[in-house]
Amino acid sequence: MTINKEKPGNKEKLNSRQQSASVDPAEIAHFSAMAATWWDPNGPFKPLHKLNPTRIGYARDSLCEHFGRNTQDALPLKGLRILDIGCGGGLLSEPMARLGAAMVGADASEKNIKTAQAHADEMGIAVDYRNITAEELAKAGEKFDAILNMEVIEHVADIPSFLTACHSLLKNEGCMVMSTLNRTAKSWAMAIAGAEYIMRWLPKGTHDWHRFLKPSELARALSNCAFETIDLKGMVYHPFSSEWSLDERDFSVNYLVLAQKTQNGKKAQNG
């Protein structure tokens, strides 16, 4: 096997990748160090495993409504080409592939991609995993019906560059499903103090509270990159059941956004 051997040119390719405007090398290194534990439901990614059913349900329902699909169909996303940007170990890519989507999972961490590919092969699920950035995909002229952009933007170095790349990756009338964290006192208490220091659900330093985005800030950034925010939902954690649910009004910690590429790439009117 050559999995641990560096092929000629790999070092140069990685250095070039880390120079992409949206990529923060420190963030990539942080998640690469945990790559082998992505699929451990009791490991460092336990919070994502708990959150996953809510994220998947929102993505499925939003995409079905946007593209006129029936959520009750066995393969409601069949025929849609979807990009999972910052896919990590594939926690979203695999379930979406099971719903019929032609999935491309992209991540700037080679270790994450190897973990994701190995798990998909073990499960017999077809996902096109690539060690690549959004900017590189856009430069290659790739096009998708939809993008999943989940728990990524708070780790991005250059948000305008990243969202511009995402915009160019979408077909006309395409849409993007996003999830991130609000910058509030409650989100600091729960996502950092609670999850990283008290409960030890996440390694210390996983999140930087100053990088969290208020919904209004994210909507403005999307508008500036020719997206229209068409839906906003909060995600609320219930400690007694250890489950998450969608909420129409509570965006104080985690929230989801559905954004549509505006016609002809024009800046959204609500910007």
How do residues 24-53 score in pLDDT, each as one tens digit? Answer: 787 667 656 666 789 999 888 888 899 999
Domain-embedded: residue 271: no
Please tell me the distance from the alpha carbon of residue 106 to that of residue 85, in angstroms, as a whole number.
Answer: 5
Tell me what pLDDT residue 5 has.
Answer: 32
Domain-embedded: residue 4: no
Residues with Cβ within 8 Å of 156's Cβ and at least 6 positions away in sequence, in order, are: 22, 23, 24, 162
Q: Which amino acid is at 253?
A: V
Residues with Cβ within 8 Å of 38's Cβ and at least 6 positions away in sequence, in order, are: 45, 88, 89, 90, 91, 112, 115, 116, 119
Taking the CA atoms of 18, 22, 26 and 31 in sequence, report the sign of the dihedral they define: negative
Is 259:175 a contact under the CB 8 Å cutoff? yes
Domain-embedded: residue 1: no
Domain-embedded: residue 154: yes
Domain-embedded: residue 3: no
Domain-embedded: residue 176: yes
Is 192:127 a contact under the CB 8 Å cutoff? no
The number of folded domains in the chain is 1
16 C-beta neighbours (distance < 10 Å), count = 12
Tell me what pLDDT residue 142 has.
Answer: 97
Q: What is the pLDDT of residues 80-98, one digit of tens each?
A: 999 999 999 999 999 999 9
Going by C-alpha positions, the residue among 261, 258, 264, 265 that lies closest to residue 63 is 258
Q: Which helix (H) or strand (E) holds 222?
A: helix 215-224
Q: What is the pLDDT of residues 130-158, one digit of tens each?
A: 999 999 999 999 999 999 999 999 989 99
State the CATH number of the domain containing residue 39. 3.40.50.150
Please tell me the distance from the alpha carbon of residue 48 to that of residue 163, in angstroms, as a whole number.
Answer: 23
Range of the domain at 28: 10-265
Tell me what pLDDT residue 177 has.
Answer: 98
> Could you give phi then psi for residue 173, rounded to 5 degrees?
70, 10
Please tell me the distance from the alpha carbon of residue 66 to that of residue 64, in angstroms, as a whole number.
Answer: 5
Please tell me the distance from the alpha carbon of residue 103 to that of residue 97, in angstroms, as a whole number.
Answer: 6
Q: pLDDT confidence of 201, banded at 50, 70, 90? A: low
Tell me what pLDDT residue 210 has.
Answer: 83
Domain-embedded: residue 180: yes
